[in-house]
Amino acid sequence: MEASYVTRTGPPPGATFSAFERFFRENYATVVRIAHGVTGDAQAAQDVAQDVFVSAFRRFPDPDGAPEAAGWVRAAAAHTSLNAIRGERRRDRRQQECAAAPPPDSPEESVLAAESRAEVRRALQRLPRRSAAVLVLRHSGLSYAEVAEAMNVSVGHVGTMLRRAESALRKELQK
């Protein structure tokens, strides 16, 4: 067995960071918003975003020549964060945060408290994966066209998926 030293994540030969930095700055906030919609935790969302962009760099070292890259990182943000909320550690932390929150004093806060963040995450896990993804993509502020690009569906189909997903989410939380 030979001794070897490996570089885990270095850029491919000839690749530069400049094009990727532009891509990162244009898309980072969106990716964090999507991940936050799932995790409900700012730090966890930034962790997900870092992982997403590491993968994106490997796949699209020159994103200027890859028009699909933006849609890819958005979809990756949704799926990566949906996978991440299966971790018990984060879920437990969120539940503790919910338990420690002060009593709600407005109807809006009451709804949020009743449908605690942990319950929302569990409900997202119970939804079909594509339904959960379309929910968090749209409610992170993406347009229908952007959601369609990320989900690889027609713009018209986004409305269908979204309507079903929102109805299903409400039913899950009001069981």
Partner 1 sequence: MSHVPVPVLRRMQDEPLAVPDADRRHLAGCARCQDARRAAEADAAFAARVLGPPPADPDTSAEWQKLVARLRAPVPLPAGSRRPARDAARAPRRLPRRLAASLSTGTAVTAGVLLVGAAAAATLTTVYAPTHVAPVPVTGSDLSALQSITNLAQALTGGLSSRGPTTLPFGQVTWHAAGQARKVASLAEAQAQTGLTRLVPAQLPQGIGAVRGIIVQPQVTATLKFNANAGHGVGGSTLTVRGGPGVLVQFGGQPGQPAPGTLVVATMRRPVATSTGATANQLEDFLLDQPGVPPLLAQEIRMIGQSALPVPVPSGMTQENVTVGGSPAVLLHGPAGAASGVVWESGDGVVHAVAGLVTSADILNVARQLS
Cα-only R_g, the chain: 18
Does 96 help bind partner 1 (rule: CB under 8 A)?
Answer: no
Question: b/e for 121-138, b at 16 or more Cβ within 10 A?
Answer: bebbbebeeebbbbbbbb
Structure tokens, 104: 């709600």
Which of 21, 25, 52 lies closest to 36 in space, CA to CA? 52
Which of 117, 122, 140 lies closest to 34 in space, CA to CA? 140
Q: Quick one: which segment of 62-70, 94-102, 130-138 binds partner 1 (CB under 8 A)? A: 130-138
Binding residues for partner 1, how many (CB under 8 A)?
A: 73
Task: Provide the minimum distance between the beta carbon of 47 and partner 1 in the complex, in angstroms, as a whole number.
Answer: 7
Residues 61-80, one symbol each (x = binds partner 1 by CB under 8 A, - = not), give ------------------xx
Does 103 help bind partner 1 (rule: CB under 8 A)?
Answer: no
Options 117, 148, 149, 151; binder of partner 1; rule CB under 8 A: 117
Residues 19-58, one symbol each (x = binds partner 1 by CB under 8 A, - = not), give --x--xx--xx--xx--xx--x-x--xxx-xxx-xxx-xx
